Homo-oligomer: A and B are copies of this chain.
Amino acid sequence: MLSQTAQYALRAALHLASVKPGEVTDVAELARSLNLPRNYLSKILYQLTQAGVLLSTRGKGGGFRLARPAERIAVLDVVGLFDDIQPRRQCLLGRVACSDAKPCAAHHRWSEVSERVVAFFRETTLAELAQ
């Protein structure tokens, strides 16, 4: 369902959601904790930072932290950076045979299912996932 990278991003964000608010965690510790190569994780964290999900500070005492409370970060904010989570942007057939305008027989049922998936990602927050 989710790409490897998106899963790592989510797990990293969840880890940050579990520390005291405002406290920073450096890449080395996150990498240890998630059992990931440091520089690979670094690139993922960088993208999360660029997207405004995380804040980073360099130099001694630096590290990463959530840019806002975990209650206000949707799972979609994280995984949407890496995976294309969109409601039936295409029908099952890659929109060749079927569209909203000329729907196939199963189109509406699929739209409904697809929309539920997106809604889950949009409406579930890091705080909820972190328990």
Contacts and interface: CB of A to CB of B under 8 A. Distances in A.
Interface of A: 1-2, 7, 10-11, 14, 75, 90, 92-94, 96-97, 104-106, 109-110, 113-114, 116-117, 120, 124, 128-131
Given A14-B93, A92-B2, A93-B7, A124 B109 contact: yes
Given A7-B92, A7-B93, A7-B94, 15 more contacts: A1-B114, A11-B93, A11-B97, A14-B93, A14-B97, A92-B129, A93-B129, A104-B130, A104-B131, A105-B128, A106-B124, A106-B128, A106-B129, A109-B120, A113-B116
Contacts of A128: 105-106
Nearest to A125: B106
A79 B120 CA distance: 23
A131 B103 CA distance: 9
20 contacts: A1-B90, A1-B114, A2-B92, A7-B92, A10-B92, A11-B93, A11-B94, A11-B96, A14-B93, A92-B129, A104-B129, A104-B130, A105-B129, A105-B131, A106-B124, A106-B128, A109-B120, A110-B120, A110-B124, A117-B117
